[in-house]
Chains A and B, each alone.
Chain A
Amino acid sequence: MALSEAERVLRQAIEAAEQLGLDTQDARTADRLIGERRGYPNDLYVLALAGGTGVGKSSLLNALAGAELSPPGPLRPTTRTPIAMLPIARLEEARALLEWLGGAEIRMAPGDGPAIAIVDLPDLDSIEPGHAARVDSVLPRVDSVLWVTDPEKYDDAMLHDAYLRRWMPRLARQAIVINKADRLAADDVQRVAADLRTRLALEGLPPIAVLSASAIRDVEPVRTWLAEGASAKEIVNARLLRTAAEATRALASAAGVDGPGPPAPLVPADRRAHAVSASQAAILDLVDLAGLRSQAATASRGAARSVGGGVLGLLRSTLERGTGIHASRADPDGFLRRWRERGSLDRPIAPIRHLLLEAVAALPLPTRASLLEDVEPGAISDRLARSVDGVISSPEIAFPRPRSRLWPIAGAGQLVATAALVAGVVWLVVLFASRGAAPTASVELPILGPLPMPAVLILGGLLASFLLARLLHWHAGRLGRRWATATGQAISMEVAVVLDGTLARLMAGVDGPRHALWSALRSIEQEERHDGAQARPNSASQLP
C-alpha cells in the first residue's frame, strides 16, 4: 500500500517547508517515528487506554483481561507504573515494540488477544504533573487509543482541550468509551453519548465511535469494538498514514496553504505588471533616452564630418577628439554604460519593493523570513542594476560606426567648393598684385552676369560649402537619431522583460514551495480518503 508514498510526500513537504523557513521539527519527528514504527511487526498493534483519574481504566483493563492485572483502589491519583497486556503467543515481539513505545517502565502481563497489546496509561488530569507528561510522551507512538471517561468527567476541559482536540485528528483507530454506565439509566447513557457527540462536533472533530461500558458489569461493547475492527496491519498502516498526513497538514497550515484550492500566486499578475511598468519607466528616466538621442546624433555627425566635411570638417573632428568633447557628448555606448551614475535607483526599486513588502506582510509569520532578505534595498538595487546592465551591454545594443554613401559625395563637393573658393581668392590676389606691379592697361575680367568671375567663385564656394555642411548635419543627425530611437525601443522592451523575470524569480522562491506544500497535502489527503474508505469500521458496538 501507499505508506511509502506518504512518507515520500511528507519528506517533500518538509523540504518545501524548509525553503519557506518554517519550523519542521515536529514533521521530522513524525517522519522518524513512522520509519521506526515500520521496523517493528505491523501485524501486531498497540492500543492505549487514556483518560482522567478515577474513570476506571485499570478496572476496564482487568475486565478485558479477565484477571486482576492492576489492583484498583480508592486513592487518587493511582500511582503505579503503566501496565500492558500482551498477546501471549508473541510476547517477545510485543515486548520489543512496547520498549520502543515507553522504555522499560511498562509492566507487562500476558493476555490472550491475538494481535493486540493493550497499555493502561497514567491519568491525564490529576495534580501529579508527571502523569500527564508520561501520557504525552507515549501517545505519539501508539497505534490506536481508547479514550476512557465516565458520566462525571465526559465534559471536562482537560479531556477536551488538552487531549481530544489535539490527538483525535492524529489518530486513525480510536473510540471513546463512557465507563461506569451502570451508574445511569439506559436512556441516560444514550443522552450522555449524544451530548458528547454534539460537543465533539462543535469542536470540529471528526466523528468517532462512542461506546458504553461498565468495568464491573459489562465490557462487551469494548470487546466487540476490538474484534470488529480492521486487521492489525490496516490499523498500523492507517495510523502511520494519519501521522504523515497530520504532519503535512500542520506544515501546510503554517504556510497558510491548507485551503481547498491551490494557493493563489503571492502577487496577482496585474499588480505585477503594474509594478514592472512603473519601475521600467523610472529606469528609462535614468537611462535617459533623450540624452541617448543627442549623443547618437552628435556621434553620427562627427563620423560624417570626418568623411564628408571637407578639410574644415576633418580639422574640427580632430580637435573634438583631442579635447575630449567627443567622449563626453558623442559616445552613445559610454553614455548607456554610465546609466547608473545618472541618479539613484530608489525610484526604480520603489514599486517592486512595495509589491514584495505587501507580499511579505500577507504571508504567515514564520514564512516571511524567506522573502525578507530579498527586499533589502541594497540587495534589490544590485539585482535590478545587474539585469539592466545585462540588457545594455548586449552586443546588439552597441552603437555601429555610422556610414553612408552620400557622405563621400558630400566630401567631394566640399573639396570642389573649397577649391573654387581658393581659386577665386587666388585669382583676386594675383589680380591686385599684378595691378600694382604692371600699371598697364586694365585687365579684362570675365563677367558672369553682374558679378566678376572671382567673386562668383568665392561666393559660390562659400554657399555650396554651407549648404553641403547643413545637409550633412541633417542627414547624419537623422541617422544617429534613428538608431537611438530603435535602440531605445529595444532597451525599453528588454528592461521590462528582465524586470518581470527578476520579480518572477523572487516570487518563485515562495510560490514554488507553497504550491509544493499544497499539492503534498492534497495527494496525502487523497491517499487517506482512499484508505479510510477501505478501513471504515462498521459500528455494531457503538451507541446509537
Chain B
Amino acid sequence: MERLAESADRRWQLLLDARQAAGIGDDVATSPAAPRGPRERALELRDHSRSFLLPRARDLDAPVLVAIVGPTGSGKSSLLNALAERPVSRTGVLRPTTRDAVVIGSATDLARSIDHGALRAIPPQRLQRHPTDAFPGLLIADTPDVDSVEHEDRALADRMLEAADVCIFVTTATRYADRVPWDVLARAEERRLDLVVVINRMPPGDDAAVVLDDLVRLMGEARLRVRSFLSVADGALADDGDSLARSALEPLLLRLRELSADAAKRRLLVADALAGALEGVVPLVSSVAGDLEQEAAEARTLLEQAQRAYDDETATMLDRLFSGTLLREEVIRHWHTFVGADQVTRFFAGGIGRIRGTLTAVLRGAPPAPVSVVQRGASDDIIALVERHAAEAARRTAARWTVDPLGAQLVTAHPDLWSSSALLDAAVRRAVDGWIASIASDVAERGASRRSTARVAAVGVNALTVALMLVTFTHTGGLTGAEAGIAAATAFLNQKLLNALFGEAAVQEMIRRARQRLTDALHEIVADERQRFEQVVGPVAEVEALAAELRRIAA
C-alpha cells in the first residue's frame, strides 16, 4: 500500500512536470459544476496518498483529524468557534470568510501532525494553528468554502478533506440542495469517511422537520452513509455572535469528547477510516489508471500521425534525391564546361581527341575546376529539398493535430511546430559538408591505392570528388551521352572520367556507399525534426508504465 502511494505520487509528479514543460496549463473548469477531470482525479489520488494513506498507515495513534467542510456562509467557522469556546476562526457577513485552514488541537498533537502527519502536505502559510486543550487526541479544522469563487480555496478544502479521518459537513436549510457541495459529499462517501451532517439555520416550527426529512431522503437516494444528522435552529448563536450556541451542539460535543477521551475508540475509528480508504482507493486508482491509459492512447495516436506524415515525406524526398532532377542546370553547366574540356576528356577519349587534349594540356595547362560553386549549388538544392519535405511533414502533422483536443493545445502552445525547425538549414548544410568530405576521403583512398595516382593528381581530388558527387545524383546507367540535356551529357562525361581513373566496379561501389551515407544522414535529420513532436507529447511510455503499475496495484 505504501508502495502504491509512493509510486503513484512520484510518477504523477513526473507527469505533471512533463506536462508543464510541454506548456499545457491547468485547465480551470469554466463551470464549478463541471465533472472532475483526469487531472483532478489524479491530484486527489496524490493528495490522498500523501496526506492520508501514508501517514495514517505509519501511525495509527496519530491525532484524529476532523475536517469541517461545507458551502460558503453555512456557519463552519461559527461551529469551530463553538467547539474551541473562543473566537479562533473569523466570521462575518463578507464572503468568503475563511481563506485558510484553521486548526485547533493540543500543541503536541498539532506539532505531530504538521511534522510528519496528515497536515504535512498543507502549505504552512495557509494553515492557522490555535492550540487548545479542549479535545486532546483530536485536531478539528475549519476549511475554506468548497463553492466560493476562489478556486484556490476549493483546492485547499479538497486537500483537507483528503487528509481527514472524520468529516463534519455543514449546510443550511436553504443550501442543502446546492450542486457543488454535493460533489464534495460524493467524494467523502468514496473515501468512506465518518460523516456527520450539520444543518444550520433551520426554520422554526414544523418546517425544520420537513427539511430534515427531505435532506435524509436526498442523502439516502445518493447512497451517502451518514453517522448522524444535527439540526441547528436559525439564530441559535452564543452571546458573542461569533459561534453557534453550544447547547444546540450537544450530540456532536458528546461524540467528540468521547473520541477524545478514549484512545481505543480513536484507534477503532482510525482503523475503520483507513480500511474504508483502502477500499475506496481501488476505484480511484482504476479510474486514474483509465485516465492515464486514455491519455497515452491519445498521445500514441498523435505520434502515429506524426510518424506517418514524416515517413511519407521522407520516402518522397529520397525518391527525388536520386531521381536525376535534383540539381539545377545552372550549376551543372559550370561543371560541364570543365569536364567537357579537351584537357579532361583526354583521360578517356581515344585517337585524335586524346592527342588534341594532351597538346592543349601542355600548351594551356588544366582548366580550373569550379569546385566550390558546384558544391555550394548542390548543397543549396539538397537543403531546399529537405526543407520542403520536412516543412510539409510538419505542416501535415500540425494540421492533423488541430482536429484532436490535446493536439490542438500542443500546436497552439508551440507555433514552431507548423514548419521545419529553425536549425534545419544549418543541420543539413553540416550533413552535406560531412558527406562531401567522406566522398573526398573515398576518392583519395582509391586514388592512392592505384596505379592511376598520377592521373588522379592531374585532375585533382577535389574535382573528382565533385564528379563523383554529381554522378551520385545523376547516374545514367550506361547511356551513350547523346541524349538531349546538359545534365545527362555531364553525367556521361563524369562517369567516363571516373571509370577511366578508378575502374567501373570501384566507381559503382563508391556511388553505392555515397548514396547510403547521404540517405542515412538525411534520415537522421528528419528523425530529429520529428523528435520535436515527440518531445511536446511527453513521455508516453512512462505514462503507460504508470498506468500499468496502477492497474496491477488496483487488481
Contact = CB atoms under 8 A, between A and B. Distances in A.
Contact of A54 (B145, B174, B388, B391): B174
B210 A74 contact: yes
Given A157-B32, A192-B93, A343-B381, A353 B391 contact: yes
Contacts of B320: 344
Interface stretch (B119-127, B147-155, B350-358, B508-516): B147-155
A199 interface: yes
B388 A191 contact: no
A160 interface: yes
Interface string A265-279: 000000000000000
A153 B328 contact: no
Interface in A285-338: 285-286, 288, 290-291, 328
Contact of B172 (A129, A152, A286): A152
Contacts of A52: 178
Given A74-B210, A377-B392, A155 B328 contact: no
B489 to A, nearest CB: 10
B267 interface: no
Given A157-B148, A349-B388, A127 B178 contact: yes
B381 A157 contact: no
A155 B148 contact: yes
Q: Which of A54, A75, A156, A282 has the most CB of B within 10 A?
A: A156
A61 B172 CA distance: 23
Nearest to A360: B418
Interface stretch (B40-48, B102-110, B408-416, B527-535): B408-416
B279 interface: no
A323 to B, nearest CB: 12
B384 A157 contact: no
B458 interface: no
A441 interface: no
A158 B33 contact: yes
A151 B93 CA distance: 7
B172 A328 contact: no
Given A53-B177, A162-B30, A162-B32, A342 B329 contact: yes
Interface string B375-408: 0000011001101100110010001001000001
A347 interface: yes
Nearest to A202: B149
A74 B72 CA distance: 20
B384 A347 contact: yes
Contacts of A342: 328-330
B328 A291 contact: no
Contact of A76 (B72, B174, B325, B402): B174
A464 to B, nearest CB: 28
B415 A362 contact: yes
Interface string B165-184: 00000001111111110100
B418 A156 contact: no
A55 B178 CA distance: 12
A228 interface: no
Contact of A344 (B71, B147, B326): B326
Nearest to A199: B149
Contact of A75 (B71, B94, B214): B214
A354 B211 CA distance: 68
Contact of B73 (A152, A157, A282, A377): A152
A376 B418 CA distance: 12
B543 interface: no
Contact of B416 (A152, A188, A361): A361
B384 A53 contact: no
A286 B329 CA distance: 7
Which applies to chain A's interface (DSSP): helix, strand, loop or mixed?
helix
Give the interface size bracket for A toward B. 35 or more
A291 B408 contact: no
Contacts of B411: 365
B384 A361 contact: no
A43 interface: no
Interface in B10-33: 30-33
A376 B216 CA distance: 65
Interface in A70-95: 74-77
B415 A126 contact: no
A195 B203 contact: no
B28 to A, nearest CB: 9
Contact of A155 (B72, B203, B402, B415): B72
B481 interface: no
A382 interface: no
Nearest to A347: B384
Contact of A156 (B31, B72, B380): B72
A374 to B, nearest CB: 11
B493 interface: no
A158 B179 contact: yes
Contact of B33 (A162, A188, A360): A162
B484 interface: yes
B147 A156 contact: yes
Nearest to A354: B419
Contacts of B412: 365
A33 interface: no
Contacts of B370: none
Nearest to A180: B174
A438 to B, nearest CB: 44
Contacts of A54: 173-175
B162 to A, nearest CB: 20
A343 to B, nearest CB: 3
Contacts of A354: 391, 419
Q: Which of A76, A160, A288 has the most CB of B within 10 A?
A: A76
A504 interface: no
Contact of B330 (A75, A288, A368): A288
Given A192-B94, A375-B395, A74 B419 contact: no
Contacts of B151: 157
B174 A357 contact: no
B178 A126 contact: yes
B6 interface: no
Nearest to B208: A74
A343 B327 contact: yes
Contacts of A286: 328-330
Interface in A124-161: 125-129, 132, 150-158, 160-161
Contacts of B308: none
B95 interface: yes
A160 B145 CA distance: 15
B333 interface: yes
A350 interface: yes
Nearest to B176: A76
Contact of A343 (B149, B175, B218, B328): B328
A354 B408 CA distance: 21
A71 B90 CA distance: 36
B96 interface: yes
A21 B381 CA distance: 35
A105 B175 CA distance: 26
Contact of B148 (A126, A156, A184, A377): A156
Nearest to B73: A152
A388 B174 CA distance: 76
A175 B330 CA distance: 76
Contact of A357 (B384, B385, B391): B391
Contacts of A344: 320, 325-326, 328, 381, 384-385
Given A76-B173, A191-B93, 11 more contacts: A77-B177, A129-B179, A155-B73, A156-B178, A156-B180, A195-B95, A285-B330, A286-B329, A347-B380, A347-B381, A347-B384
29 contacts: A52-B178, A74-B173, A74-B211, A76-B174, A76-B178, A76-B214, A125-B180, A150-B174, A151-B93, A152-B73, A152-B175, A153-B72, A156-B147, A156-B148, A157-B32, A157-B149, A158-B32, A162-B33, A184-B93, A188-B93, A192-B93, A192-B94, A195-B95, A282-B384, A343-B325, A360-B418, A362-B415, A365-B402, A372-B399
Enumerate the 10 nearest inter-chain pairs by beta-carbon distance, A residue then B residue, closest first.
Answer: A343-B328, A54-B174, A155-B95, A361-B415, A76-B177, A152-B73, A357-B419, A157-B32, A342-B329, A346-B384
